[in-house]
Every structure is written in structure tokens, then in C-alpha cells.
Amino acid sequence: MYQEHTLNNGLKIFMVPVHTFQSVSVGVFVRVGSRYETELNAGISHFIEHMLFKGTTNRPNSGLIAEAIEGIGGVSNAYTSQDTTVFYAKVAASQIDIALDFLADLLRHSLFAATDIEKEKLVIGEEISMVFDQPDTWVSILADELLWPSHPLGQNIAGTEDSVNGLEREALLQFFGQSYHPHNLLLALGGAFDPARVIPQLEELLGDWQPAPPPEFAAAPPQQTQPRCVVQHRPNEQGHLCLTLPALSRLDPDRYALSVLNTILGDGMSSRLFLNIREELGLAYAIDSGLNLLQDTGSLVVYAGVDPDGAPAALQAILDELERLRQEPVSERELRRAVEYLKGRTVLGLEDSYSRAAWVAYQAMFQPTIKSPEEVLADYSAISIADVQRVARRLIDPARYNLAAVGPFGRGEPLSRLIIT
């Protein structure tokens, strides 16, 4: 399924050749994100992600950087999460040399020019303001703050206006040097390429890069014992509810059963939340559930966009569905549908050169072994009705509910009373 090579400096390279593709994707996966930060430098990982596209010694401005990949019809981008920062380029297979040189240039030769830093503070400030103005997104940020209070996991990945404005060039370079080196990142390639040709190129581009000790992060806080609720009043036309529960880590053996549970609960238009709360009761326009699995913790998240007047009824219906999962075994039909849904999404998700690279990369970063797609499909098929109910009883506990609400709710007593009894 993949080939692995380690450069002399310890940099690991994972290669997934797929010669039926016409493209090749190259990704740089860094073990750093908002959970590695403090309150004072919140947003620094995300800020560095932006800065790597502002100029290098070889491509001294953002226009030349954009042109390097767009000029050959390719796509390049990056994203930051709580524990990962990723840079990637996807190009026609014949252009792989440019993609490799481009990413190596960002990693090794970024300028961090003082003028660009000051401009980017304004840009990211606008990004933070934009998210605040999107209540369906902002409510999820409030939910993380509620789930992980006074902890880096609960901080906005973009930081705050104060923390971003306080970032100085020296702090950026120090954080960059501590995080971006061969012992804290890996490269992954997927698509139509020859590994024997790629390795010498990467040795030339990155072989003299010096390693360093990987940075550490604060462990997840202790499990909560009381429910929490925050209501932010806004004169919107729609109300937004986000109910979160502490969940499982990427390493937990129950993670596959949890994925099945989540699919039955709220992933897709045949889920319980969609069919019962939107279609049957008409209490929500948008409603779903999702998972966020991290290295030592995770979350199960339910989101609903509702008519403000019907918000208490919608919330009660969500709570009822959670309790039903805990109290009653799911049906054999629901189980099989959820398993086939997950298996199908897994297969379809791999029909792309980047997804092939990311499949191996994320497991290499966070798992002791790398499973093939066939092994994961078998793991899903092995889940039983009893597994789903066991996980439901393990996780679904009203004492661990966290409700964030944004909308014309005033102080939100009808909502908070359903959570904090």
C-alpha cells in the first residue's frame, strides 16, 4: 500500500504510488497546532501557516509563491487544527519536481519579513471578525471553550485579536524552529510518481535540515463532572445550538464503534437526528453530529440551526435521541446501514491523490501502526449492536453535557434548564 523511507536526519517520507492517477499530491504534516500554545501566544501556529506563503528567499513575495503552483494548473493550500498543521500541493504528475521544490522552499527559506507580519496581523484580525459574524461557526468555538475551559484545546485556533497583535517576529521564529524540523513532521506523497526518483530529490532539498527535540503539549484536562452551558444573545433570525460531549482519542479501541454510533445519530440524511428532528418534527433546518478525535481526548458534537422559538423543543429532542442511544440497542438494520455508509465513504474518500497521502500520514503521526483501507473496512464490519450500546453508555452522560447557544435567546433560561438541572 505504501513505501517508507527515512533520510539520514530522521525525516520520514511515506509514498503511495498510484499510477492510474494523473496527478500527484505532496503534503507536509507537522505535529503542531493550537494545543501547543499558551493564552499569550494563542494563534501562533495558524499565523505561521499564513507566513510561509508570504515570501521565501527564492520566491520573495506572495505573488510568486501563488504563481509557482497556480502557474502550472496546480493547487496549493494549508490548514491548522488543534494538533496538526498541513501544507500541500497537488499538481499534474509531470510537475512533481516543482511541487517538491515549492514545499521545501516554504519549509526552509521563508522570510518572515517584518512588514508582512504586520500586514498579516490585520488579515487574521479580519478572519477572526469574520468567524465571529458567522454564528453557526462561532457557536462551535464557544463549545470548545466550554468543553475544555482554561486549556489550549479550548482556544480559538486563530487566536484572539490581542494574542495575534502581540506576536513578534522573534517569537514566531522561535516557535517555528521548535516545531518545524525533521523530528516533528513528515512528508507524504500520493499519486503517479516514481519513489526511486523522488527520494534523491528530497535528500538534496531536505537532507541537511537539522533535527531537534519535538515540542510537548499540555495533557487534556480531567473529565468533567457537571454540565455546562453558555448562551450568547444576538438578534439573529436563526438560533444556533452546539451540544458537545467528551469523547475518545485516536488510539481508543472503541473509536470504530463510536464512528458507527455517530453515523446512526447524526451523520447524513438517514440519521436519527435528521429524520426525527428535521423531517418528522420540523424543529431544525440544519442538524448533524460529528467527531473530533485527538491524541488523548476527543469530542462528540451535535449542531442544530433552529427557529429561536422552537429551540427548547429542538434541544429536548436532541437530548431524547442521546438518551435513547444509551438506553435502547440500535436495530440490526440501522447498524448495517451505518457500517456500509462508513465503508462506502472510506472507499470514496481515497479516490484522490491527496487523500491517499493523508491516509498514511495521519496514521504515521498518531498511530503505532498504519492500517490498510481493507483492515479499517474489516474493523467497521466487526462492530456489533452491543459495541454501539456499550460506547453509548460509556460516553453519553448528562453530567458531561456542554451546550453553547448563539441567537435571540436573552439569558437563555429555557435552554440552560434542560442542561443544568
Which H/E stretch holds residue 85?
strand 85-92
Q: Which of 4, 37, 39, 49 is catalytic?
A: 49
Question: What's the rounded Cα separation, in Å, for the pair 126 and 62?
Answer: 19
Crossing angle of helices 62-70/96-109, nearest 10°? 160
Q: Each residue of 200-221: b (16+ CB within 10 Å) or e?
A: eebbebbeebeeeeeeebeebe
- Displacement of CA 411 from its chain's centroid (Å): 31
Which H/E stretch holds residue 353?
helix 353-366
49 among known catalytic residues = yes
User: Which of left, alpha, beta for 73 (phi over 0: left; psi -120 to 50: alpha)?
Assistant: left
Strands (E) located in 294-374: 298-306
User: Which of left, alpha, beta for 10 (phi over 0: left; psi -120 to 50: alpha)?
Assistant: left
Strand pairing category for 402-407 and 185-191: unpaired
Catalytic positions are 49
